[in-house]
Amino acid sequence: MIDVFVAGLRANSCTVSGPMNTDEARATVVERASAHLLVACNDDVPLPALVDGLRQRGVEVLTPGDPAWAERLADAEVGITGARLAVAQPSAIALAAAPGAPRSTSLVPSVHICVVRVDDLLPTLADAMIGVAAGEMPSALTWIGGPSRTGDLEMITTLGVHGPRAVEIVLLD
Amino acid sequence: MLQRALHNLDRRLRTAGESAAAHPDWKDRAAAIRRETLLDLDGWLDRLEHSLVARGVHVHRASTPADARRVVVELAQARGARTVVKSKSMATEEIDLGNALEDAGLTSVETDLGEYIVQLAGERPSHMITPAIHKTLPQIRDVLAKEAGTDLAVDREALTAWARDRLRGEFLRADIGITGVNFAAADTGTLVLVTNEGNGRFCTTLPRVHIAVMPVEKVIPRLADAGILLPLLTTHATGQALSNYVTMISGPRRAGEVDGPDELHVVFLDNRRRTLLGTRYEEMLACIRCGACLNVCPVYRNVSGHAYDSVYSGPMGKVLTPLLSGGTEGADLPYGSTLCHACSDACPVKIPLGDMILALRADVPDPHSGARRRRRIFWTVWARAWSTPSGYRLTTALGRVSRGRVPGLQAWTSTRELPRPARESFRDRWAKEHA
Amino acid sequence: MPKVALFVTCVADQVFPDTAAATVRVLEAAGAEVVFPAAQTCCGQPAITAGEPAAAARLAHHHLDVFGALDAGEIDAIVAPSGSCTAMVCHHYPALLAERRTEAEALAARTFELTQYLVDVLGVVDIGARLDTTVTVHDACHGLRNLGLGHETRRLVEGAGATLVEMTEPDTCCGFGGVFSFGFPEVSTRLADSKLGHAAGTSARYLVSGDLACLMHLDGRRRKVGPGTVPQPIHIADLLASGLPPKR
């Protein structure tokens, strides 16, 4: 199931790393984000001390509780989020909006890094939707299969038209 | 251009079709869900409204396009809105909402890249999924460069980057985001929106107010049904296993959330749809607007969407346009079909489009009723003559004497030779041989 | 010996009687006895495509009177050299003749297109014809999508020893479409050109199909612009009959 998930995401222009443990995942995310000046990070990322780790590397981190969030988000180059769940077929991650998990984090910055727990991966969308619909719905549940893309220019795929140009999935054991 | 672009699409769809073939029963399941909905459309709409209202969503019912336009314009004016961003939606095209907003003094910006290009060019979309499919890259460059006021390279990445920056500004400025709805789940009160570019997400994330225009047949009984319908929609629309963004919205921003709209309005648009219930065209309301019938239609592939002169084009447009207008628009569209039934075969929810196109030739009132009367007289006389062997023999004998020189054949003979009737019919030959 | 009533179709009767005769030869070669109900005229399809179902129904009633009266114990099947006319009976009659639905359904159940009858009913793919030639197939729309035909023509062609070369998009419409070919001659002709181009790409000698109307349209276009390298359009019955030994 993990192989199908990873293959589907890669076929849809995502990069995928892992599955790996918490320390490795945190190091991977910090390493990836450290090339950037400002990073937006949701509270639902399942990696303890991630924000501290980023700040130690000299990266400025914007969190949803920050009063300057709305004003500064447009300058963030990377958005880091967790995921409510993921499905292998078709391959996609699902992000639930919440006070610590704004919708914009995975939309406005050019790069979206999403940390997904392997335990949250389900085989199919059809099965997953039965469970989702039975639970309490968030104000917005956003399924993401890959980077923002368009086929409007002569039906040839172009990435990053409105949302992120890159989606990087980190799988957590 | 259209043919080349559709060829690019066709390759993707054929691959997707092979993977979808792994689930041959999905079309049946999807068709069953859509028909279950239509059996009690009003009931599901009531349940949907109840669920939406419970989530703090405002529901407006509009029976005509004018009603729907009025609802949206009044909402915008009451909130002092100046700029509206729109995410591509056939429903807002159907009610011509963009022009209504402009007429009311608002700025309305299409944010789907193809739709934006078409809007800047002062044209109409030519395809439901890819509105600018009729335009080449250099033509698109010219349109965008004119808007930019500077020269732009004929380069996909560069043009996309320019549009991204320009439209990002519009999203940040906009007071209202307007979208359509792909599905609306009655049980949970959830709106499902499908996009690839992310413009639909921006329209439902940054502006203070989100207004969704929802044709009544978009309701589905259960949110779980979306698990079946979504992959079917996207494989048939673009060849993707799932579109890159599917947003499920269940109410406005909640306490403590830092983004999302404060207000969410849904406009239920009827526009004669409910009059189709119980008729032979009821199943047309099962349509999920995937565009599969356009992509396989030999006529559509040859003439492009603009030839239809209607919001909905291709086979589904030939059916929907006359039905939604009560026959005042698109009365000629059902004749622009070879009746090859490729559309019926391609439809993921099994709508018998070919049979409907054929039936509409008889059922749509003809705006030129004199021509219809003459046609009826001709075929009535023909049917009388040919419903007896003697009448058939007499008229075909006349045809042989005239050697096929009858008026009205120029439409054929200008591009094709026409064979003449044989000197001796098969039945005469048979009678002689078996005498 | 199976006994077959020939549903000749008005187009074959009046314009292509040789194809009708070839149909009889092919059926006989496959071991059937053929009868011709002389009172038949036309199935009514031209009227229904023109948007006049009442006129079509009048002819459909006549067709049902003629063929429905045949004793099912004596006549095993009704066979037509046309997927389109067969589809009119099988696909449209039950709804068009709603007040005689049971009769119409019974008629539909024993009406077959020629290749469908040979291959799917009789189980014959080799009727004794020998063809040393190359053939490409155009899947006529109503046979393909209303009747589910496709492999039958191909198996018969190969059963006669001919080489089958598939064209690009054999299942795309040729652009005829009845009244469409008069109402939209430009698009109709462009579709014919596309089909003929695909056929020429195979370098086959013959372009075979099961519907005379498609063939009339394609051959009419080919003759207008000159044959060039385009295969000769031919009905499957004519092709198979041409490979049968001379009639004694």
Written as one letter, the residue type at B387 is: S
**Helix axis angle, B137-148 relative to B113-120, nearest 10°?**
70
**How far is Cα A163 from Cα A149, in angstroms, rounded to an integer?**
8
Residues of A in contact with B1 (CB under 8 A): 154
Structure confidence at residue B404 (pLDDT): 62
**Range list of H helices, B150-241:** 156-173, 199-203, 226-238
Model confidence at B10, pLDDT cuts 50, 70, 90, reads: low
Task: Name all domains of chain B by residue range, CATH numbers in brackets.
Answer: 2-271 (3.40.50.10420), 278-363 (no CATH), 388-433 (no CATH)
Beta partners for residue B59, in sequence order: B266
Judged by CB atoms closer than 8 Å, whether chains meet at B379 and C182 is answered as no
| Share of residues in chain C with pLDDT > 90 (%) | 96
**What's A166's domain CATH number?**
3.40.50.10420
| Share of residues in chain B with pLDDT > 90 (%) | 70
C124 contact partners, CB below 8 Å, separation of at least 6: C30, C31, C118
Residues of A in contact with B171 (CB under 8 A): 162
**How far is Cα B95 from Cα A10, in angstroms, rounded to an integer?**
40
Which of A98, A107, A161 lies at the smallest CB-CB distance from B257? A98
- Choose the mutation target among C145, C181, C211, C223 for the interface with B, i.e. most B CBs under 10 Å: C145
Q: Give the CA dihedral B238, B241, B243, B245, nearest 10 degrees.
A: -170
Judged by CB atoms closer than 8 Å, whether chains meet at A161 and B197 is answered as yes
Spell out the domain ranges in chain C: 3-121, 134-242
Peptide bond into B24 cis (omega under 30): no
Model confidence at B410, pLDDT cuts 50, 70, 90, reads: confident
Quick one: CA dihedral B215, B217, B222, B225, positive or negative? negative
Beta partners for residue B210, in sequence order: B177, B264
Judged by CB atoms closer than 8 Å, whether chains meet at B375 and C52 is answered as yes
Which residue from B minimizes the CA distance to C13? B426
The string of pLDDT tens digits covering residues A131-155 is 999 999 999 999 999 999 887 777 7
- Choose the mutation target among A75, A153, A154, A169 for the interface with B, i.e. most B CBs under 10 Å: A153
Q: Is B224 within 8 Å of chain A by CB?
A: yes
- B248: enclosing H helix or E strand: strand B245-249
Quick one: CA dihedral A62, A63, A66, A70, positive or negative? positive
Q: How many CB atoms lie within 10 A of CB C242?
A: 16
Length of chain B: 435
Whether B369 has a pLDDT exceeding 90, the answer reads: no
The string of pLDDT tens digits covering residues C191-209 is 999 999 999 999 999 999 9
> Among residues 106-125 of chain C, which lie with CB inside 8 Å of chain B?
none
At CA B259, angle to CA B193 and CA A15, rounded to 5?
65
Q: Is C186 within 8 Å of chain B by CB?
A: yes
**Residue-range definition of the domain harbouring residue A61:** 2-90+98-172
**Helix axis angle, B26-39 relative to B226-238, nearest 10°?**
120
Q: Do B and A share at least 3 CB pairs under 8 Å? A: yes
Judged by CB atoms closer than 8 Å, whether chains meet at B258 and A154 is answered as no
Check if the beta carbon of residue B133 is closer than 8 Å to that of residue B127.
yes
What is the residue-averaged pLDDT of chain B?
91
Which of A132, A140, A150 lies at the smallest CB-CB distance from B197? A150
**How far is Cα B180 from Cα B230, in angstroms, rounded to an integer?**
15
- Residue A136 is given by DSSP the state P
Distance between start and end Cα atoms, chain C: 20
Structure confidence at residue B132 (pLDDT): 83
Check if the beta carbon of residue A147 is closer than 8 Å to that of residue A164.
yes
Residues of B in contact with C17 (CB under 8 A): 422, 424-426, 429
Average pLDDT over residues B241-270: 96
Q: Is C210 within 8 Å of chain B by CB?
A: no
Per CATH, which fold does C134-242 belong to? Rossmann fold (3.40.50)
Model confidence at B133, pLDDT cuts 50, 70, 90, reads: confident
A93 contact partners, CB below 8 Å, separation of at least 6: A83, A85, A86, A114, A116, A143, A144, A169
Which of B338, B380, B412 lies at the smallest CB-CB distance from C177? B338
Whether B12 has a pLDDT exceeding 60, the answer reads: no
In this structure, of A69-83, B30-44, B137-151, the range with the lowest mean pLDDT score is: B137-151
Give the minimum alpha-carbon distance from C39 to chain B in angstroms, rounded to a whole number: 5
Read out DSSP for A42-86? Answer: -TT-S-TTHHHHHHHTT-EEE-TTSTTHHHHGGG-SEEEE--SEE
Which of A89, A133, A149 lies at the smallest CB-CB distance from B224? A133
Average pLDDT over residues B20-31: 75
Contacts 24+ apart (CB under 8 A), B299-302: B299/B336, B299/B337, B299/B338, B299/C184, B299/C187, B299/C191, B301/B2, B301/B3, B301/B6, B302/C187, B302/C190, B302/C191
Q: Give the CA dihedral B116, B117, B119, B125, nearest 10 degrees.
A: -100
Distance between start and end Cα atoms, chain B: 61
**How far is Cα B309 from Cα B420, in angstroms, rounded to an integer?**
37
Whether C229 has a pLDDT exceeding 50, the answer reads: yes
Average pLDDT over residues C216-229: 95
Domain tally, chain A: 1
Whether B304 has a pLDDT exceeding 70, the answer reads: yes
Whether B223 has a pLDDT exceeding 90, the answer reads: yes
Whether A65 has a pLDDT exceeding 80, the answer reads: yes
Please choose, from the candidates A17, C190, A102, A60, the residue with its C-alpha nearest in 3D space to the C-alpha of residue B302.
Answer: C190
**How far is Cα A76 from Cα A46, in angstroms, rounded to an integer?**
21
C19 contact partners, CB below 8 Å, separation of at least 6: C12, C81, C212, C235, C237, C238
**How far is Cα C219 from Cα B414, in angstroms, rounded to an integer?**
14
β-pairing, B245-249 vs A140-144, is antiparallel
In this structure, of A14-18, A34-38, B127-131, B239-243, the range with the lowest mean pLDDT score is: B127-131
Residues of B in contact with C184 (CB under 8 A): 299, 335-336
Whether C182 has a pLDDT exceeding 80, the answer reads: yes
Check if the beta carbon of residue B372 is closer than 8 Å to that of residue B335.
no
Whether C135 has a pLDDT exceeding 70, the answer reads: yes
**How far is Cα B340 from Cα B132, in angstroms, rounded to an integer?**
26
- Residue A101 is given by DSSP the state B
Which of B241, B247, B258 lies at the smallest CB-CB distance from A102? B258
- Residue C144 is given by DSSP the state I
Model confidence at B21, pLDDT cuts 50, 70, 90, reads: very low
Per residue, the 3-state secondary structure of B374-425, as one string, reads HHHHHHHHHHHHHCCHHHHHHHHHHHHHCCCCCCCCHHHHCCCCCCCCCCCC
The string of pLDDT tens digits covering residues C36-46 is 999 999 999 99
Model confidence at C17, pLDDT cuts 50, 70, 90, reads: very high
**How far is Cα B149 from Cα B153, in angstroms, rounded to an integer?**
13
Residue A10 sits at φ, ψ, to 5 deg, of: -65, -40
Tell me the residue ranges of DSSP E strands in C13-113. Answer: 33-35, 77-80, 111-113
Residue entry with tokens 């739709």: B115
Query: Helix %, strand %, coil % for chain C, to 5?
Result: 50, 10, 35
Written as one letter, the residue type at A64 is: P
Judged by CB atoms closer than 8 Å, whether chains meet at A160 and B164 is answered as yes
Which of A64, A91, A149 lies at the smallest CB-CB distance from B197? A149
Whether B14 has a pLDDT exceeding 60, the answer reads: no
Peptide bond into A19 cis (omega under 30): yes
Average pLDDT over residues A27-47: 95
What is the residue-averaged pLDDT of chain A?
94
What is the residue-averaged pLDDT of chain C?
96
Please choose, from the candidates A23, A72, A67, the residue with its C-alpha nearest in 3D space to the C-alpha of residue A48.
Answer: A23
Which residue from B minimizes the CA distance to A140? B249
Which residue from A minimizes the CA distance to B249? A140
C26 contact partners, CB below 8 Å, separation of at least 6: C114, C118, C127, C129, C237, C240, C241, C244
**How far is Cα B325 from Cα A51, in angstroms, rounded to an integer?**
58
Structure confidence at residue B18 (pLDDT): 46
Whether B330 has a pLDDT exceeding 80, the answer reads: yes
Whether B34 has a pLDDT exceeding 80, the answer reads: yes
Residue entry with tokens 């046609």: B375
Judged by CB atoms closer than 8 Å, whether chains meet at A139 and B117 is answered as no
**How far is Cα B323 from Cα B274, in angstroms, rounded to an integer?**
11
Whether B4 has a pLDDT exceeding 70, the answer reads: no
How many alpha carbons lie under 13 Å from residue C164 in its C-beta half-sphere?
Answer: 18
3-state secondary structure (DSSP) of residue A87 = strand
Between B6 and B142, the higher pLDDT residue: B142
Model confidence at C176, pLDDT cuts 50, 70, 90, reads: very high
Model confidence at B238, pLDDT cuts 50, 70, 90, reads: confident
Q: How many CB atoms lie within 10 A of CB C127?
A: 21
Tell me the residue ranges of DSSP E strands in chain C. Answer: 3-6, 33-35, 77-80, 111-113, 134-137, 163-164, 206-209, 232-235
Whether B11 has a pLDDT exceeding 70, the answer reads: no
Quick one: CA dihedral B330, B332, B337, B339, positive or negative? positive
Which residue from A minimizes the CA distance to B117? A152
Average pLDDT over residues B325-344: 94
Average pLDDT over residues B211-230: 97
